[in-house]
Structure 1
Amino acid sequence: MWFVDFPSIINKAWEAYGSPRKIKSITDISAKVSTNSVYKVQFSYRKFVIAKLSFFGKYEHFKEDHNIINNLAYSLEPPFQNTLAHSLTKNDEVFTFRYQEDEIDVWVVFYRPVKIREKLPPRLTEKHIIKLAKTIGKFHKSCHHSIDQIPKSSKTLSSDIQDLYEHLDTKEGKYEFGLQIGAIKRHCEIFLKHQEELPYSQLLEIPVFVDWNIGNFSVTKSGQLFSRWDYDWFRIGSRVLDFYFFSRVVSDIGDKTTFSYLITTLQEDRFLLFLKEYHKVFPLTIEEIKFIKEAYRFFILNYVLKDGNRFFHQFYANKLQKEAYEIYLPSLDSKFDENKILKVLNL
């Protein structure tokens, strides 16, 4: 995407919001990994809000997701009642602003700042892993208890994969994926087939954030989940969708600046320890363990391949997509053994 004056769009969004507070400064605080942009919007008297700008996916989904997240933020049970950032609202709904000019289509949402406590170390100890597993089990349980209090989502895993499948037959899709189309279609078909066989409809669905990079959340000194930000991949789906990133957080290699999405972290003893402790708090089922591999397949197909060129900056997109073709998808069957997990959990 060519240069876009994001601060100017934020000013227009704030004007549309209609607040009497005047903006003093706008500072880019983006992580620089994705194409989404995050800004600190400063007012007088040390007051500020966070502006999130996005242009990948669909505006309707952007608006829907943030409405669900805001409802969830107010619905979570203690001690998670302040874990998520609250969005600014107008006329009893989350305020979003859509800026369209020529081929530019950018969307804005404003958050109240969320408090941040302790960050986990790049490489976790076993004590860290046990505490993290227990607090995430409790958080997932709270999300489950809130499901009836939040709006329904129009996105499904099957519809996202079907969108990718259909895109592969378009002129743009053929140009984007070239010689890899056959392999991608095969994995789409495998995923959709397994969706019917498991069956996915019987799996527990909760609000999931998918991307649990170690830089996206903070904990208390005792290890309790305290706050969570960065909602780029939020959706309603199986809680298993969150597990791949937790396997990376607890992995032996730890948090790295240069990253890949290898499936092998799902088989490490450290992740098995995480699942064992999580299972004590919020028990898993055999069907959910069987779905872990398909959740990983969905992650690669949807977030790395379908949305990768629009979400990641080009360097990361090229690297991750090349690895998806050469490593991630080809290694699914040889590098993942669900029986290893079932045995540890006595399922």
Structure 2
Amino acid sequence: MLRIDFNSIVREAVESYDNSKEIASIIDISAKVSTNHVYRIKFADDNIIIAKLSYFGKFEHFVEDHSIINSLANNLPAPFENVLARSLIKGNSLFIHRHKGEFIDAWVVFYRPIQIKKKLPKKLTENQIQKLARSFAQFHKACHSIKNTLPPSSKTLELDINHLLAILKTKDGQHEHRMHIDLIREQCHLFLENMNELGGQNLPTIPVFVDWNIGNFSVTPQLDLFSRWDYDWFRMSSRMMDFYFFSRVVSQVGDKTVFSYEIDRLMEERFVLFLQAYHEVYPLREVEIRFLKETYRFFLLNYVVKYGRYFFHEIFATRLQQEVYNEHLPNIDQRFDPEPLLKALNI
């Protein structure tokens, strides 16, 4: 089995950034369910920075995403001006180190450490759900208010789905998805057809982080969003891309160590309560609620099917993908009904 010395790549990145820095320690603080690599670097002068190392996807997309995130971190208005970690700059530019070795092409970006306050409980009360919904609505409004100040993004939902369709034609894609190619292809075309019918490509785009599990952000005692880390699924897209994970945060199921990506949480009364409180602050449109089903379909296809083996350790990826093939994708249209949500919001 090939073993990559990631610590040496991080040291190489530090030297490239500033060769006068003396490293005291490098500690791996990566999430244990993920293949991503995050390190806490302490220098001899006691200063600390965070390094994120990635090696899948496209280098150009990595640079693009982190350029947007850094601009967002600097441009967000109060009370969200310190919600995101700021990246380190060298000269006038965002610093990103690229390591091109014999076996790996890896990229490293550095962040300043971010403050963390209170983690959400595994299961929220109804009052907590309403408070959190209002804070997320305010955060989305703030992101919308500065979206025109951010660098351009080349990624779109259609491009990502077409990329998956292209992968299915390759030798590697046919091997990895050999038992489920017809299902995946059918679901990709359904997404593209439904998105076109709804006009989803014309919905306003804002910065979205998609993966809002409770291990990725902290809140104040009043349930206002305080800080957010883990930017692996960041993109510029419809705000509805965030809502499936919002439904998971407020679900009666609560946070679980063994998790699945079932659609049922979008139909829970607790999620309806969340939508109603959010809607009071930042009103939702009918087309957005109807598009919610397609953002869920996209999440399964792009982040679990296409990139699952990169985002999750093999034991998690295999199970999650099998659940998507056997349960989640085939049942989307039967198990999601936008009408109760629209009725609850009076739209």
Query: Is the shorter-chain TM-score for this pair beyond 0.5, marking a shared fold?
Result: yes
TM-score w.r.t. the length of structure 1 is 0.98
Structure 2 unpaired stretches of 5+: none
Paired amino acid for 2:174: K
2:272/2:344 contact within 8 Å kept: yes
**2:208 matched residue in structure 1:** 208
Paired amino acid for 1:46: D
2:305/2:321 contact within 8 Å kept: yes
1:35/1:54 contact within 8 Å kept: no
Alpha-carbon distance in structure 1 between the residues aligned to 2:100 and 2:232: 21
Paired amino acid for 2:302: N
Mapping of residues 4-15 of structure 1, within 5 Å? 4-15=4-15
Cα shift at 1:45 = 4.2
2:14/2:21 contact within 8 Å kept: no
Alpha-carbon distance in structure 1 between the residues aligned to 2:80 and 2:2: 40
Per-residue CA deviations over 1:91-138 (Å, capped at 9, x if unaligned) read: 322111111111211111100000000111011111110111000000
Cα shift at 1:43 = 1.3
**2:35 matched residue in structure 1:** 35
**1:304 matched residue in structure 2:** 304
Deviates more, 1:73-82 or 1:85-94: 85-94
Cα shift at 1:274 = 0.4
Q: CA RMSD in A?
A: 1.0
Cα shift at 1:89 = 0.9
1:104 maps onto 2:104 in alignment? yes
2:89/2:95 contact within 8 Å kept: yes
Deviates more, 1:39-48 or 1:268-277: 39-48
Q: Which runs of 4+ in 1 moved over 3 A?
A: none
**1:313 matched residue in structure 2:** 313
**2:240 matched residue in structure 1:** 240
2:80/2:226 contact within 8 Å kept: yes
1:142 maps onto 2:142 in alignment? yes
1:62 maps onto 2:62 in alignment? yes
1:193 maps onto 2:185 in alignment? no
Paired amino acid for 2:30: S
Paired amino acid for 1:34: S
Number of paired residues?
Answer: 347
Paired amino acid for 1:92: N
1:24 maps onto 2:20 in alignment? no
- Sequence identity (%): 55
1:143/1:207 contact within 8 Å kept: yes
Paired amino acid for 1:96: I
TM-score w.r.t. the length of structure 2 is 0.98
Per-residue CA deviations over 1:286-319 (Å, capped at 9, x if unaligned) read: 1100100000000000000011112211011101
Structure 1 unpaired stretches of 5+: none
Cα shift at 1:163 = 0.4
Per-residue CA deviations over 1:183-203 (Å, capped at 9, x if unaligned) read: 100000011111211102331
Three-state SS of the structure 2 residue aligned to 1:262 is coil
1:94 maps onto 2:94 in alignment? yes
Three-state SS of the structure 2 residue aligned to 1:14 is helix
Deviates more, 1:304-313 or 1:195-204: 195-204
